Every structure is written in structure tokens, then in C-alpha cells.
A and B are shown apart, each in its own frame.
Chain A
């Protein structure tokens, strides 16, 4: 009986701007493999199907528990986390590509700074006076408000939603679903509300909320099942209110 093997077909790129190319690899199957552990096995002995020894594949990973957001990539055409994608559930050959919409650094390694820049643009933080101790407690929060907000606070910045969004592209300024959901989160916080207006103005500017084309791809690929489109819907109402306030003054 021949040993069962898996085939990985990987889109490679040596450095930013250089021409991508494809390589295929075979390695011995193990039942507990996820895409990440298969890549780990491959890097020890990267020999292609045609017998050529090549450079190990570069990719990013850290926690391997689907909570750090590092190992997102395109797996069989879909943005997913390599650590939580089991090899057993995938149709062969397993095709791996860098997460689209982000500049490739090398192989499956991409530069996701646009995601973090977006968080700066929308001021995704609570303005506290300082991180020193104060007498007294923070605001009370109802369990219901908590459970709604908690969903959004689990965004790990993997970039899958941007990768799947047709409105995100190299020439688009669109903030993307992840940063918009953070505006939803911050605006709902009893203290975060104080800066609601600044955040709404940020998403009313170019590349903001109105760039969303409502394809709903984001919510379908989010590995954390964050209700991104619900957030975008709520922000639509908040923006409308803000527009009216901007036109007619504070009520």
C-alpha cells in the first residue's frame, strides 16, 4: 500500500513587486494536519514535485489557536486561517495564495498595515485621561449591551474581510469592514460615545461607509463570525443622524 500523500500548490513571490510563480509539493499525510502544520513540515524539506530543492515558503503565524490573526491566507480560493483549517476537509490539491488586497512581502506573507492605519483613521479607542488608578469603578454595562459588544471586540485583525470585499483594492481608500465594526463597538461604549461624532465624521469622509457595496462577503468569511454587516447597517443609521445634526445643528 502506498503512503497517503497530500499535495500543496503554492503561489510564491520572492519579494515585493517581483513576478509570482507557482510550485507544487507533496508530503506525507498525517490525520491531525492543519494547513499550518503541513507548511511547518514542508519547510524542513522543501522539494517540489519535480524534485527541485527550493527556498522554504515564507508565511506568518504565531498563536496557532485562531486568536492572533496572523496566519490568514487564501486556501482553495477562500480567505481562511491556516491554523484552524484542517487538511482533512479540503479538496486536493490544496491551493495556497497570499491574502489578496494586501501587498505581498514574500510568498504567503503580506503587509496588513492598511488595516491598522484604518483603525487610526476612525479613532478606534476610548479617550481616557490616563492609565493611572482612579478611585471608583468604570461605568455599569448591562449584560445585553455586553453580549452585543463582545462580538465586535473579538476582531483579531486577520484581514479576511478585506480580502473578500470587492470594494477594497489597491487604489481604493475604503476603510473596510473590520475598522467599521470597531466604530460600532466604540460608539456603543458609555464613554466611547463621547467621541462618537469624530468617528462618524471619519467614516463619512472619502473611503468611508458609503464605499460599502453591500456584497456581504465580509460576514461570510469572518473566522470569528463577527456580524460585520449588522455593524455596517447600524452605522448607516448613525451616519444619517449625524448628517441631520450637521445640517440642522444639535437637537
Chain B
């Protein structure tokens, strides 16, 4: 029997961490990526990475990080993994530091930390304004070392198409396509790790995600039997700059430092924004949320912008845009504080936001849901048991998942600067789990070649059908229709009638995607072919999101159905009958809905079931009250 090999799909933070830990443990890694791994979407995260180092004398504690993460996720995250994540975060930071990540420093040369949304303590390490890029590069360098040593073989410009399972349903490898020659080949593997990132492209172009964050790989695993969890939970960032190609994140700091959000009171007002007098401007956040005004929480801001544009029709020029105005602020002060974000706007819009209000809109940012992954609880610590082969194992034996493509850690919403942490940490854990899996399993015979040959043949047949199709539908246009549909009906605000109609339209789109005309027949580096395949799998995943959203009849975290909102009774407090009635309804809702959604693929569409959440550390006994 030859030495075990592992295939890791995806070279962002998750995939590179997994590759590194597997290679260090003596196993060979085939690393597949759609592009040079250094270009992965992890580079886009600017803000930072959370870890309790308490470098500011604030008596911050790991327990507080755990509590913030659990509450931020509206109690929907399993708590043992959250505990391990937060406890191991400082060690992870120091490992990154040893790799040479240029974390920003205090005057003493120590790691600096800053404040990030939703928490009280300075807990976020950062590397200038490019933290994700710096973390990814350090891993890229370490993996290159193993590449030179021959332990890691990179297959860049390869696309994962499907898993190969043996007769016992164990994952034994996969089929992938060379994006240049379009050749399909099988990779045998003793374990496969999917680290294929998020799926914001389902909301194109109103997403902050990279072109390759399609979710197609996770969708393919799902369609082959992997369970997909909490798909309805998708974070929308309230303030993204508009663009034809994508929307780009505008930091919340712009609101935090005094930016004001408004629209003209008359939607037909065509005057340039600075010519519109104060009395004819509608500062809707300040009106609707007098206590917080423009610094209202992410979700609230996104929903308010949604309401003012889509429901009240007051968007600038009648469209999906509102002003985020910095022009009243002191130029020098703001340039010093937020020079980096001003620069981004200038660069991509050719306009100085200190001269003209920025135009923004909420944008699909981060998928909390993803492939279901297991964990083994350590009864001694209450966290995850170290080196358990169950950690980050999907429902398909031999298949692991980590990074944004899994569903762990964030529950119903993600805390700022926890994504770089979970992407890195889950990659490390998945790598260590795979090693435990390979060491712990008994003797395994070499897989027979038949299922590999059959899978390659099946995938080649799909390519042939697409190349000769001529069904009339353009895959790029189908993708745009998908993005518009998901943004309109499965986005910031949801409604069951709209979700039903979205599901009908998704069926139509699925039908269209089966009859595409690629518009080119080149057998070399045919990008339309790869895109057509991705679009079809994106639609499958969109069905999972819409079906899960339709099924969850409540508001929790990022999932919001206004008809089912349970607002705190204004001016009433514990002891008041109105508050007690509210408390009773809140408890009934928790009893009904505090559970993980699980989607399973069937011929009739996604089947949704639920499983309980492990809330052993911090049970949600009381409603949250921020007043």
C-alpha cells in the first residue's frame, strides 16, 4: 500500500492551514486551487483577527470572547467549538507571528490591538489595513517551503468537480478539471478537505465577495450527499460602495467617525447631493433610531436602508442607493483617522468622499451557513477534544471541511474579526483531524479504479453536453438574474410569499442553466464552460438557502422576517405585564427555533430537518436587552 495522500481543495487561510498541518505530520498533500493560492479571497479581509491578549490593561478575558461570539451568533453556534476557538486564538496569533506576519505594533514593539464592532474590549490584532492578505501570505510562504521539500504538490488552475465515493460511501478522492486543457482527471485520496470559501457570488453583483466565491464546490459535495447547515444565515454588510463588477466594503468606521446616512426626501430629486438643502434630506437612521442614529448595528442599518429604498422607494434616483455623507466632517481629522478607506473610494470611484457623499447599499458579505461538520466534545474541558478525527468531519466519511464553506462557530451571525480567526483555526483543526483519521483507521485497501473511471466519464459527458448545447441561454446572464433574484427576495429582509416565488423562479433558472449556449467552442481555457458549470451549482445552493429561509419562521441573527419580529415592548421592563408577556413569547420562540437547520439533497429539492444546538456553556435563559 502506498503512503497516504490527502487532497486539499482551496488555498485560502483554511486550506493552507490544513495543508501545513498535514504536511508537517508526514503525509503528502495535493493542493487544488482555481488560481494561484496567493490570490484567494482571504486577502480581502482588512480589519483584523480576534484573540484575547489583553494588551491594553482592560482585563479582557477569553470567557468574554466566548460570550460575545455566542451572543453575536444568537446562540445558534455549538458552544464547545466556540470555546476551543476562543481559547486557542492567542496561540494561533503567536504562531502567525512566528511565521513573520507583520502585525501592527505598540510603541514597545508588542502586538497592538484595536476595538472592533460589537465588543467592549480591544481584542483585534491587525496588520495595517490588510490583515487577511498578511495572514494568507505567511501561510503561502510556509506552504511553498513544503512544496520545495516535495511534501505538498500544488495543482493551481484546477477545479474540483465531484467527489468519488466507494461502495461504503467513504470519500476516496475526487474528479477535477484542468482549467487550461479542460482535461478531467481523478485524484485518489485517503482523505479530502474542502476549504472552498464562501458563496457571495450567488448575490452578484451586490456582494463584497471575490469572483470565485461561488459556493459551487460546497454545492457539489451537497449534491453528492454532504449535509448543509444553517444556509439561511447570511450576513449583509450595510455599507458597500456600488460598482458594476462588485460592491466594495466601506468600513463601519465611516459611520462610527461621524458619517451620516440620508436620501433626498423627493425621490425624483436630480440635484447633486450637496445642492440639496438640509430640510429636503431624510436622515432616516437618525429619525428611526434616535438612540443610536447612524451608528446603529450592522443588521439594523442594512434593514433600514432596505426599507427606505425598496419599500418606500426613496433610494437616490429611485434606485438601490443611499448617501453616506462625510462632507461635513473635518478634512484633516478624517483623513488622519480613515485615510485608507477614503483612498479605496477615490481609487474605485474617482471621487473624493470628502467632496461628495458616497453612494452605498447593503451587500452580501459572509455565509454563516455551510457544510455541516461534526465535533467531539471533551467532557473534561467543555471544548472540542483535541486531535479527534470527528472535528470538522462532514457527514461523508473521509471528507472534511473548514473555513467559510463550513457552518461552525458563528451561528446566526458573525462577530467582526472572527472570520479570519475561524478560517485559520478551522483549517488547523481540520488538518489535525485528518491526521488523526489517517493514523486511527485500520488497514485500508487501495480503492478500485471503477468508480474513478465512471466519475471522470460522467464529468466529461457534462462538458460535452455543455460544449455542444446551444440551448440559447447565456450563463453570464443567468448568473446576473440569479444575483438579482436572491438580492430581491432572499436577502436582507424576507417574507414567505416572496420566498415561495423565489423558489419558483429558481426552478426556472435551473431549467435555463440546463440549456445554455456557451457562445464559444474553444477546447482551451474555455472560461465560459467553467462558469456555466458553476452557475448551475450556484442555483442548487440558492435553492438550499431559500428553502431553509422559508422553513425558519422566526427572526434570528441575520435572518429577518418582519412579520415574525419580537420587539421589546417600549418603556416596559421586567415585572411589567407587557414585558412578562414578551418574555413568555420569547421563551416559546426559543423552544421552537433554537436548532440547527440541516439541508439534504433529494431529487425533489432540499429536505430540511433540524438538530439541537449544544448550549452547555451558556444557555439562553433570558431575552437580550441592550437598553
**A44-B180 CB under 8 A given contacts A61-B211, A62-B212, A132-B95:** no
* Least distance between A186 CB and chain B CB atoms (Å): 7
* Least distance between B249 CB and chain A CB atoms (Å): 8
The reply on A247 being an interface residue by CB < 8 A is: no
Residue pair B100, A130 in contact (C-beta under 8 Å): no
**Among B41, B91, B127, B180, which residue has its beta carbon within 8 angstroms of that of A133?**
B91
- Residues from chain B with Cβ under 8 Å of A130 in the complex: 24
**Among A36, A43, A137, which residue has its beta carbon within 8 angstroms of that of B97?**
A137
The reply on B145 being an interface residue by CB < 8 A is: yes
The reply on B520 being an interface residue by CB < 8 A is: yes
Q: Which B153-192 residues have a C-beta within 8 angstroms of A?
A: 180
Residue pair A67, B43 in contact (C-beta under 8 Å): yes
The chain B residue with its CB closest to the CB of A31 is B350
Residue pair B245, A67 in contact (C-beta under 8 Å): no
The reply on B622 being an interface residue by CB < 8 A is: no
Residue pair B95, A133 in contact (C-beta under 8 Å): yes
Residue pair B35, A70 in contact (C-beta under 8 Å): yes
**A40-B97 CB under 8 A given contacts A56-B527, A63-B39, A140-B110:** no
**Among B94, B210, B520, which residue has its beta carbon within 8 angstroms of that of A62?**
B210
Q: Bound complex: CA of A154 vs CA of B210, how far in Å?
A: 18
- Residues from chain B with Cβ under 8 Å of A62 in the complex: 35, 39-41, 210-212
**A142-B35 CB under 8 A given contacts A106-B524, A126-B98, A131-B21:** no
Residue pair A55, B211 in contact (C-beta under 8 Å): no
* Least distance between A54 CB and chain B CB atoms (Å): 8
The reply on A128 being an interface residue by CB < 8 A is: yes
The reply on B44 being an interface residue by CB < 8 A is: yes
- Residues from chain A with Cβ under 8 Å of B91 in the complex: 133-134
* Least distance between B42 CB and chain A CB atoms (Å): 10
Q: Bound complex: CA of A70 vs CA of B348, how far in Å?
A: 17
Residue pair A131, B95 in contact (C-beta under 8 Å): yes
Q: Bound complex: CA of A112 vs CA of B474, how far in Å?
A: 30
Q: Bound complex: CA of A156 vs CA of B24, how far in Å?
A: 26
Q: Which A27-53 residues have a C-beta within 8 angstroms of B?
A: 30, 32-34, 36-37, 40-41, 43-44, 46, 53
Interface pick from A117-125, A161-169, A202-210, A231-239: A117-125
* Least distance between B9 CB and chain A CB atoms (Å): 16
Interface pick from A2-10, A84-92, A94-102, A212-220: A84-92
**Among B92, B97, B133, which residue has its beta carbon within 8 angstroms of that of A67?**
B133
Q: Bound complex: CA of A156 vs CA of B43, how far in Å?
A: 9
Residue pair A156, B350 in contact (C-beta under 8 Å): no
The reply on B248 being an interface residue by CB < 8 A is: yes
**A64-B102 CB under 8 A given contacts A44-B477, A133-B88:** no
* Least distance between B235 CB and chain A CB atoms (Å): 18
* Least distance between B323 CB and chain A CB atoms (Å): 16
- Residues from chain B with Cβ under 8 Å of A14 in the complex: 522, 524
- Residues from chain A with Cβ under 8 Å of B520 in the complex: 55-56
Residue pair A36, B88 in contact (C-beta under 8 Å): no
Q: Bound complex: CA of A154 vs CA of B211, how far in Å?
A: 21
Residue pair B104, A65 in contact (C-beta under 8 Å): no
Interface-centre pick from A62, A130, A131, A146 (highest chain B CB count, 10 A): A131
* Least distance between A162 CB and chain B CB atoms (Å): 14
Interface pick from B63-71, B136-144, B374-382, B562-570: B136-144
Q: Bound complex: CA of A15 vs CA of B180, how far in Å?
A: 9
The chain B residue with its CB closest to the CB of A140 is B109
Residue pair A32, B522 in contact (C-beta under 8 Å): no
The reply on B99 being an interface residue by CB < 8 A is: yes
* Least distance between B132 CB and chain A CB atoms (Å): 8
Task: Provide the B209-230 mask, 1 if CB < 8 A to any CB of A, else 0.
Answer: 0111000000000000000000
The reply on A22 being an interface residue by CB < 8 A is: no
**Among B130, B137, B350, B519, which residue has its beta carbon within 8 angstroms of that of A56?**
B519
* Least distance between A84 CB and chain B CB atoms (Å): 5
* Least distance between A41 CB and chain B CB atoms (Å): 7
**A126-B100 CB under 8 A given contacts A63-B44, A63-B210, A112-B36:** yes
Residue pair A157, B94 in contact (C-beta under 8 Å): no
Residue pair B35, A125 in contact (C-beta under 8 Å): no
Residue pair A120, B476 in contact (C-beta under 8 Å): no
Q: Is the interface of A mostly helix, strand, loop or mixed?
A: loop
- Residues from chain B with Cβ under 8 Å of A243 in the complex: none
Residue pair A105, B477 in contact (C-beta under 8 Å): no
The reply on A249 being an interface residue by CB < 8 A is: no
The reply on B390 being an interface residue by CB < 8 A is: no
- Residues from chain A with Cβ under 8 Å of B148 in the complex: 120
**A192-B100 CB under 8 A given contacts A55-B522, A143-B105, A154-B130:** yes
Residue pair A141, B105 in contact (C-beta under 8 Å): yes
- Residues from chain A with Cβ under 8 Å of B137 in the complex: 153
Residue pair B142, A133 in contact (C-beta under 8 Å): no
- Residues from chain B with Cβ under 8 Å of A69 in the complex: 38-39
**A34-B210 CB under 8 A given contacts A46-B519, A128-B98, A186-B100:** no
- Residues from chain B with Cβ under 8 Å of A53 in the complex: 519
**Among B95, B141, B246, B522, which residue has its beta carbon within 8 angstroms of that of A125?**
B141
- Residues from chain A with Cβ under 8 Å of B627 in the complex: none
The reply on B489 being an interface residue by CB < 8 A is: no
The reply on B134 being an interface residue by CB < 8 A is: yes
* Least distance between A73 CB and chain B CB atoms (Å): 15
The reply on B410 being an interface residue by CB < 8 A is: no
Residue pair B102, A146 in contact (C-beta under 8 Å): yes
Residue pair B144, A120 in contact (C-beta under 8 Å): yes
* Least distance between B626 CB and chain A CB atoms (Å): 33
Q: Bound complex: CA of A34 vs CA of B244, how far in Å?
A: 9
Q: Bound complex: CA of A57 vs CA of B224, how far in Å?
A: 33
The reply on B540 being an interface residue by CB < 8 A is: no
* Least distance between A74 CB and chain B CB atoms (Å): 19
The reply on A160 being an interface residue by CB < 8 A is: no
Residue pair B35, A128 in contact (C-beta under 8 Å): no
**A131-B142 CB under 8 A given contacts A15-B525, A65-B44, A142-B105:** yes
- Residues from chain B with Cβ under 8 Å of A131 in the complex: 17, 20-21, 24, 95, 99, 142, 428
Residue pair B105, A64 in contact (C-beta under 8 Å): no
The chain A residue with its CB closest to the CB of B520 is A55
* Least distance between B522 CB and chain A CB atoms (Å): 6
- Residues from chain B with Cβ under 8 Å of A127 in the complex: 145
- Residues from chain B with Cβ under 8 Å of A112 in the complex: 36
Could you list which residues of chain A lie within 8 angstroms of chain B, going by C-beta atoms?
14-15, 30, 32-34, 36-37, 40-41, 43-44, 46, 53, 55-56, 58, 60-70, 83-84, 86, 88-89, 105-106, 109, 112, 116, 119-120, 124-128, 130-134, 136-143, 146, 149-150, 153-154, 156-157, 186, 189, 191-192
10 additional contacts, CB 8 Å, given A36-B245, A62-B211?
A58-B527, A63-B41, A64-B245, A68-B38, A86-B348, A88-B350, A119-B144, A141-B102, A143-B106, A146-B102
Listed A/B pairs (11) with beta-carbon separation below 8 Å? A32-B243, A36-B245, A40-B245, A56-B519, A56-B520, A62-B212, A63-B43, A132-B95, A133-B95, A137-B97, A143-B109
